[in-house]
Amino acid sequence: MPGRDKGGLTEPMYYVLMSFLHGEMCGIEITDFVAQKTAGRVRLGPGTLYTLLAKFQDEKLIEETQVDGRKRTYRITSKGREVFQDELERLKACVLDGEEELR
C-alpha cells in the first residue's frame, strides 16, 4: 500500500484520499479542496498530484469514473477508504502518544 513502507501516508497522500470522501473529483477540485482544507499548508503541484493519482489507481485506492477531453474524474474505492481510515487511526495514536508525553 502506498506509503506503508515509510510508516504511513505522506501528508499530500492523506489529503488527496480525504478529498474523495466528498465524492467524485477531478484534479483541480482535489487541488482546491486540499488548499482550502489545509489553509495553504499543503500545496499540490500538478506533478505531485498526477503522480499520486496514478499510484492510487495502480493500488486500486481510487478509480477513474469519467473522461471528458483532458479532464478526468475519480472516486475512492472501498480499499482506499480502508487505507484512509487506517492512516487516520495511526495519526490519532501518534497525537495521543505525544500528548501523554507532554503531561
Kindly report, residue by residue over 29-72, the tens digit of the pLDDT: 999 999 999 999 999 999 999 999 999 999 999 999 999 999 99
Residue 24 is given by DSSP the state -
> Which domains does the chain possess?
4-98 (1.10.10.10)
pTM reported for the whole predicted model: 0.89
Q: Beta strands 62-68 and 25-26: pairing type? A: unpaired
Helix and strand numbers (H, E) in the chain are 4, 3
- Cβ pair 43, 31 in contact under 8 A: no
